[in-house]
Structures are given as structure tokens and as C-alpha cells.
């Protein structure tokens, strides 16, 4: 069955077409066709090893860092394939930011953590203002405004993750990729990040990989369910409006997965 890859309203932020990702000779994901809606939250779920992180990383060419990784097919961003030879991954990453599973602030001051990305990307405006604005958007300003010159590592895990989000926002991306951003956090910190993501979708397109189905259900607008084939290659099973997917899955596998019968 061909998976549903469309959504009813709004425009497409980024689109994967016939995408295959190989690690050496091993095909990790196959035949991905996916349209990510602009200024919405799209969750990628699926069992371990199904390639959802690989798909996510393909959107801003972070897979380039893995020497053996190779992407076939297309990822269209503003109408052009980001894997075209003339496209510089540095520019793609400036437009498509990323937040990682474990908080990874730089070992610099809180201020520098936010300002650095903007500075190297040639930001010409008022840096203090940008830092404050970014930290406010990341709902961290009130907690750190008096200790901007302290190390980023002096913060708690949840604060560090919000700092990483603030840092990503500071370079004004269009899309923010989040790779299980709350998996290393406690429930309270997780909730705060989820609330933050809801705020952020007003300005940014967000793609989030999560292991937590409740999180996908309550925090996302759209959900893509991935599964793994017999050859261990991941593929997209179903993509739909989150409510629709969780209440009325079209695919039997999806239903089995969301009801906890496998995965």
C-alpha cells in the first residue's frame, strides 16, 4: 500500500522524494516520500532501528558527517534538492537547525553559546538584543539573565536543552530538527520543552523524532510512522494528521504499534 504523504492545508517546508539512505552497502531507509508542513510540528515515530533519526538527519545533511553514509533520491527545499552538488551543506544547516538528544552546550558562557552561531554566520545587528530575544523565545531568559557570563554547563539538564534551542533559534532557521530532545530529561523538564515547542511552531517548522508515543500524540500536529522491513531497511508506513493517525490508523502495523502490540 502506498503511504499517505499529503496533508490537507498549508504549504510544504521540505519534501523527501524517493529517498534512500545507505551506510556503506547497507540500505538503512528506503523509498521515503514525505512532505513536511510549514509551521507545524511533525513527529517521526517508530520502533528502534527503523531509521527515523537517519531520515531526520538527512534533512540538514548531518549524515555527511558519517563517512560511509550516502543519500539517494531527493530532498526538496524551496524547490531545489539539498543534495545537489552545488549546494553547500553549511547554508542548509544555517536554514535547518538541529537540537540533539543529549543537551550539548559549548563549554563557553551562556551568552557566547547563543551568540556564537549568529556571529560566525555574519550577524550584523544588536547581539545583546538577539541573545535576549532568543533566550526569551526558548523560555530561559528569566532563569539565566543574571548569569549570562557563567558556563553553559552550570545549568540543569532541562535548562541546557533550552539553551541549545535558544542557540538554534538565534541563527533564525526556517526549520528546526529535534532528535529525541527530551529523552535525557525528567518529566517536568520534558513538559517544559513540549510547551516551548508549541510556542515555537508559530514561527518555525518543527520536525521531532520521539520514542514516546504520548509525546507524539499530545505535542505534534502530524505524525509519520516508520517501520523496518525484513531486510532491516526502514520505510514510511503511514503519515497523517496526528489525531487521525492515533484514533483511526489506516495501516494495521500502525494500529499494532500505537496500541503497544509491538515495537
Chain residues in the site for other proteins (CB under 8 A):
60, 62, 65, 67, 90-91, 93-95, 97-98, 100, 102, 104-109, 116-117, 120-121, 151, 153, 164, 167-168, 171
Q: What's the closest the beta carbon of residue 213 comes to other proteins, in angstroms?
A: 26
Q: How far is the CB of 51 from other proteins (least distance, A)?
A: 18
User: How far apart, in whole angstroms, are the C-alpha atoms of residue 116 and residue 193?
Assistant: 22
Q: Which is nearer to other proteins, 37 or 173 (CB)?
A: 173
Q: Which is nearer to other proteins, 46 or 105 (CB)?
A: 105
- Least gap, CB of 98 to other proteins (angstroms): 4
The residue behind cell 523509498 is 31
Cβ 218 to other proteins shortest distance, Å: 26
Calculated CA dihedral for residues 149, 154, 158, 159, nearest 10 degrees:
-10
Per-residue exposure over 39-71, b if at least 16 CB sit within 10 Å of its own CB, e if not: bbbbbbbbbeebbbbbbbbbbbbbbbeeeebbb
Spatial neighbors of 124 by CB under 8 A, at least 6 apart, are none
Q: Min. distance of Cβ 68 from other proteins in angstroms?
A: 9
Grid coordinates representing 86 are: 552545488
Q: Which three cell numbers stand for residue 36?
A: 513536511
> Closest approach of Cβ 115 to other proteins, in Å?
11
Question: What is the closest distance, in whole angstroms, from the C-beta atom of residue 257 to other proteins in the complex?
Answer: 29
Which CB, 178 or 236, lies closer to other proteins? 178
Q: Which of 126, 130, 101, 96 is nearest to 113 (CA)?
A: 130
Distance CA 46, CA 67 (A): 25
d(CA 197, CA 150): 26
Place of cell 530532498: 75
Q: Give the residue with the Cβ less far from other proteins, 120 or 199.
A: 120
Specify the residue, 177 or 237, whose C-beta has the smaller distance to other proteins.
177
- Give exposure, 197-219, as e/b (b: 16+ Cβ within 10 Å): beebbeebbbbbbbbbbebbbeb
Complex with other proteins: residue 42 or 60, whichever CB lies closer: 60
Report the residue number, 36 or 98, with the smaller CB distance to other proteins: 98
Amino acid at each position: 500500500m502506498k503511504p499517505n504523504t499529503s496533508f490537507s492545508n498549508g504549504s510544504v517546508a521540505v519534501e523527501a522524494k524517493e529517498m534512500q539512505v545507505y551506510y556503506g552497502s547497507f540500505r538503512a531507509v528506503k523509498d521515503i516520500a514525505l512532505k513536511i508542513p510549514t509551521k507545524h510540528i511533525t513527529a517521526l515515530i517508530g520502533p528502534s532501528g527503523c531509521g527515523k533519526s537517519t531520515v531526520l538527519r538527512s534533512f540538514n545533511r548531518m549524515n555527511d558527517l558519517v563517512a560511509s553514509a550516502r543519500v539517494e533520491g531527493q530532498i526538496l527545499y524551496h524547490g531545489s534538492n539539498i543534495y545537489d552538488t552545488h549546494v553547500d551543506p553549511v547554508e542548509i544547516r544555517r536554514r535547518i537547525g538541529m537540537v540533539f538528544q543529549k543537551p550539548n552546550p559549548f563549554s563557553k558562557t551562556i551568552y557566547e553559546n547563543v551568540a556564537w552561531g549568529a556571529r560566525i554566520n555574519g550577524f550584523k545587528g544588536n547581539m545583546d538584543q538577539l541573545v535576549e530575544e532568543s533566550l526569551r523565545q526558548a523560555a530561559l531568559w528569566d532563569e539565566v539573565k543574571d548569569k549570562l557570563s557563567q558556563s553553559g554547563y552550570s545549568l540543569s539538564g532541562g535548562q541546557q536543552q533550552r539553551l541549545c534551542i535558544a542557540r538554534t533559534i538565534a541563527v533564525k532557521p526556517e526549520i528546526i530538527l529535534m532528535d529525541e530532545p527530551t529523552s535525557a530529561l525528567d518529566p517536568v523538564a520534558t513538559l517544559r520543552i513540549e510547551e516551548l515547542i508549541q510556542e515555537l511552531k508559530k514561527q518555525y517548522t518543527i520536525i521531532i523524532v520521539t520514542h514516546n508515543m504520548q509525546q507524539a500524540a499530545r505535542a505534534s500536529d502530524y505524525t509519520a510512522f516508520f517501520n523496518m522491513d525484513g531486510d532491516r531497511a526502514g520505510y514510511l508506513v503511514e503519515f497523517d494528521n496526528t489525531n487521525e493517525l492515533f484514533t483511526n490508523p489506516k495501516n494495521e502495523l500502525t494500529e499494532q504499534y500505537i496500541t503497544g502490540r509491538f515495537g
